[in-house]
């Protein structure tokens, strides 16, 4: 039985032409070889598994080829190429800087550099993970890297360029390798599948490419894993089961529930996903990515940026037609906010549920520009209207005699009398119907105004509007400071209390109670708001304002003050 070789090694590129996703870099290297303009040091940097070490090996083989092909590739037939392919070439030396990062290792490498090659023109030294070298090793390597022998070429490879000393960077030609695109990864996986006799669906390979995140080595490793799981028949269903990837179908079902405003169905879908073992944070970020993809698919041009299979893209385009762009903007913003708060939340399941509820109520939330309604939740099931509580006027100070305030004043109703006798000909009929419709509109308008002026509000909304009013005060500085330091506390649905520190603050608020309530009722859209003001019992006992009160308070705390007054016969002026 032959020894099994993983696909990442078996299908490792051996020519520049076979390197996937790095065409611009390979073209540059080939032109440099053809023009005999080789630098003495190169730095290949980029994410893992994108071909840095592979390109370094191909480059080393090609520059030592004794009879290069017309397209700039190695011939694979000369003695140097054969020795390289059989892994017995003495012209190519690889050093793993992760395990050979000391000064002694670099000094040993410098000693080897002095020996010229026996076959070919150059000796190539490939140092992988070069950022792992110690500072002392970097310093010992500087002189040789800057002025090596004419037969020596250094190729440094790293995934973390920012950790390399600037003195090293300035001595190298830097090549930045990019992540391999989804389409290039899928195309290469299809080639590998055809060579291995594996039947693979395009949607399944798309999932593998997304999971690999731009790394071909990771993609091939996952491909081998899935092939072993499926026995050579790689389907979309098998891939998502084996890799524990959330199916697109769940996102589409969740989107349908959100568009329909069905909170119950949305929560059931979320619970089903969580029961399958998926993390809540991954679900939140997945929903955000899903809405982002829907936004891209709103336009045919941007839909090309969405790298998935053709069938899935078509479904995204059809779903995107049901979503208006304003809804998508608000949904993405809402889910992004949940993503930011997820790590700080103590009850993560509750945060996930609230996110679904808010998404389901987005379309019924009224004006999209009304930021006050952004965090409001409507009841999931319709219930009867709760009657407004009767204000309790038994408090010490109560301010409730302020007239109702409405941003849209109600218009007097128009009465149409004797509608039956007003119908005279076509003209008369038109006038009567017009008046009747006008009356209906006026009645509906009055109902809307009445409903708008009885809205519920939260303690946070009350405090925010209270501060807004206070900060707008320009002349009454004492009132402004009182309102900023004495914040209201919501007692009931429409009643709040302000606890002040002294009678002066109390009187200030009472003097301006009408203006304050007018503003709050208009901003909070509730004409039933009642304000109550009282002095803190603790401060009422301890605080002193007149000279006599201040002296008495000091005398209680220090008896020597009283003796001083008595001995000298002091009096208050």
Q: Is residue 234's pLDDT more than 50?
A: yes
pTM: 0.57
Residue-level pLDDT at 480: 87
Number of other residues whose CB lies within 10 A of the CB of residue 52: 24
Residue-level pLDDT at 457: 83
For 134-166, give one letter per residue: b (16+ CB within 10 A) or e.
Answer: eeebbebbeebbeebeebbbbbbbbbebeebee
Residue 427 or 441, more confident: 441
What are the pLDDT digits (tens) for 85-127?
888 888 888 888 888 888 888 888 888 888 888 777 888 999 8
Percentage with pLDDT > 70 across the chain: 81
What are the pLDDT digits (tens) for 8-49?
888 888 888 888 888 888 888 888 888 888 888 999 998 888
Query: Measured on CA atoms in the order 298, 299, 303, 305, is the torsion positive or negative?
Result: negative
Residue-level pLDDT at 458: 86
Structural domains in the chain, CATH included, are 7-176 (3.40.50.300), 182-243 (1.10.8.60), 248-373 (1.20.272.10), 396-542 (no CATH)
Phi, psi of 480, rounded to the nearest 5 degrees? -60, -45
Residue-level pLDDT at 421: 35
Residue-level pLDDT at 544: 56
Average pLDDT over residues 234-259: 84
Separation of alpha carbons 432 and 421, rounded Å: 10
Residue-level pLDDT at 482: 86
**C-alpha R_g of the chain:** 39
SS3 content of the chain, % helix, strand, coil (to 5): 55, 10, 35
Given a contact cutoff of 8 angstroms between Cβ atoms, the answer to whether 41 and 47 are in contact is: no
Strand-strand pairing, 123-128 and 199-200: unpaired
What are the pLDDT digits (tens) for 250-268?
888 888 988 888 888 989 9
Residue-level pLDDT at 378: 59
Given a contact cutoff of 8 angstroms between Cβ atoms, the answer to whether 137 and 95 are in contact is: no
Residue-level pLDDT at 42: 92
Burial (CB < 10 A; 0-12, 13-18, 19+), residue 573, is exposed
Q: Is residue 491's pLDDT more than 50?
A: yes
Phi, psi of 417, rounded to the nearest 5 degrees? -95, 150
| Residue located via tokens 């996952």 | 222
Residue 493 or 389, more confident: 493
Average pLDDT over residues 368-393: 46
Q: Which residues contact 423 (CB under 8 A, 6 or more apart)?
A: 429, 432
As a three-state string, the secondary structure of 237-255 is HHHHHHHCCCCHHHHHHHH
Phi, psi of 532, rounded to the nearest 5 degrees? -125, 140
Residue-level pLDDT at 543: 53
What are the pLDDT digits (tens) for 129-176?
888 888 888 888 888 888 888 888 999 999 888 888 888 888 888 999
Q: Is residue 564's pLDDT more than 50?
A: yes
At 394, is the secondary structure helix, strand, or coil? coil
Q: Where are the beta strands (DSSP E) in 27-114?
A: 41-45, 92-96
Given a contact cutoff of 8 angstroms between Cβ atoms, the answer to whether 104 and 131 are in contact is: no
Separation of alpha carbons 36 and 32, rounded Å: 6
Average pLDDT over residues 228-239: 84
Q: What value does the mean pLDDT of the chain take?
A: 78
Question: How far is CA 151 from each of CA 60, 87, 120, 219, 502, rounded to the nearest angstrom?
Answer: 12, 20, 10, 37, 90
Q: Is residue 307's pLDDT more than 80?
A: no
Average pLDDT over residues 557-561: 80
Q: Is residue 540's pLDDT more than 70?
A: no
Residue 198 or 447, more confident: 198
Average pLDDT over residues 452-462: 79
Q: Is residue 465's pLDDT more than 80?
A: yes
Percentage with pLDDT > 90 across the chain: 2
Q: Is residue 301's pLDDT more than 80?
A: no
Given a contact cutoff of 8 angstroms between Cβ atoms, the answer to whether 351 and 342 are in contact is: yes
Tell me which of 273-287, 324-338, 447-461 is least confident: 447-461
Residue-level pLDDT at 240: 83
Residue-level pLDDT at 69: 75
What are the pLDDT digits (tens) for 381-427?
544 344 444 444 333 444 444 444 333 333 443 433 433 333 333 33
């Amino acid at each position: 039985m032959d020894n099994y070789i993983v696909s990442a090694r078996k299908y490792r590129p051996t020519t520049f032409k076979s390197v996937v996703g790095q065409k611009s870099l390979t073209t540059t290297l080939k032109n440099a070889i053809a023009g005999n303009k080789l630098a003495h040091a190169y730095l290949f940097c980029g994410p893992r598994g994108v071909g840095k070490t592979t390109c370094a090996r191909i480059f080393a083989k090609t520059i030592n080829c004794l009879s290069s092909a017309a397209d700039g590739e190695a011939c694979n037939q000369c003695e140097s190429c054969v020795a390289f392919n059989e892994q017995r070439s003495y012209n190519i030396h690889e050093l793993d800087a992760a395990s050979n990062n000391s000064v002694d290792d670099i000094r040993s490498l410098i000693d080897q550099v002095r020996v010229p090659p026996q076959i070919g023109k150059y000796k190539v030294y490939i140092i992988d993970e070069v950022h792992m070298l110690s500072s002392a090793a970097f310093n010992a390597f500087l002189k040789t890297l800057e002025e090596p022998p004419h037969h020596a070429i250094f190729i440094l490879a790293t995934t973390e360029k920012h950790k390399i000393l600037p003195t090293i960077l300035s001595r190298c030609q830097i090549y930045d390798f990019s992540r391999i695109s989804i389409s290039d990864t899928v195309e290469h996986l299809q080639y590998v599948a055809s060579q291995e006799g594996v039947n693979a669906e395009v949607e399944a390979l798309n999932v593998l490419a997304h999971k690999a995140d731009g790394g071909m080595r990771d993609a091939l490793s996952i491909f081998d894993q899935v092939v072993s799981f499926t026995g050579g028949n790689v389907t979309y269903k098998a891939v998502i089961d084996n890799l524990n990837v959330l199916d697109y179908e769940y996102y589409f079902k969740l989107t349908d529930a959100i568009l329909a405003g069905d909170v119950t169905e949305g929560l059931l879908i979320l619970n089903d996903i969580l029961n399958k073992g998926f993390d809540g944070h991954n679900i939140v970020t997945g929903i955000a990515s899903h809405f982002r993809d829907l936004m891209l698919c709103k336009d045919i041009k941007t839909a090309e940026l969405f790298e998935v299979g053709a069938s899935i893209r078509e479904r995204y385009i059809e779903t995107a037609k049901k979503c208006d762009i304003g809804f998508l903007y608000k949904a993405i913003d809402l889910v992004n906010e949940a993503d930011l708060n997820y790590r700080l939340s103590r009850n993560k399941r509750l945060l996930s549920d609230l996110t679904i509820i808010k998404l389901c109520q987005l379309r019924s939330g009224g004006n999209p520009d009304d930021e006050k309604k952004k965090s409001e939740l409507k009841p999931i099931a319709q219930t009867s209207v709760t009657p407004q509580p009767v204000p309790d006027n038994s408090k010490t100070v109560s301010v409730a005699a302020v007239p109702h305030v409405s941003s849209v004043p109600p218009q007097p109703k128009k009465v149409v009398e004797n509608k039956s006798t007003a119908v005279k000909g076509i003209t008369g009929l038109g006038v009567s119907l017009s008046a009747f419709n006008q009356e209906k509109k006026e009645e509906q308008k009055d109902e809307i105004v009445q409903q708008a002026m009885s809205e519920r509000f939260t303690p946070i909304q009350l405090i925010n509007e209270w501060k807004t009013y206070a900060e707008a005060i320009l002349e009454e500085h004492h009132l402004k400071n009182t309102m900023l330091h004495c914040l209201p506390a919501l007692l009931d649905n429409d009643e709040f209390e302000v606890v002040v520190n002294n009678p002066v603050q109390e009187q200030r608020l009472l003097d301006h109670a009408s203006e304050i309530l007018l503003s709050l009722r208009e901003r909070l859209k509730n004409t039933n708001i009642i304000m109550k003001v009282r002095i803190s019992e603790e401060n009422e006992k301890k605080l002193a304002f007149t000279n006599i009160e201040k002296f008495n308070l000091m005398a209680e705390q220090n008896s020597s003050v009283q003796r001083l007054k008595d001995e000298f016969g002091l009096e208050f002026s």
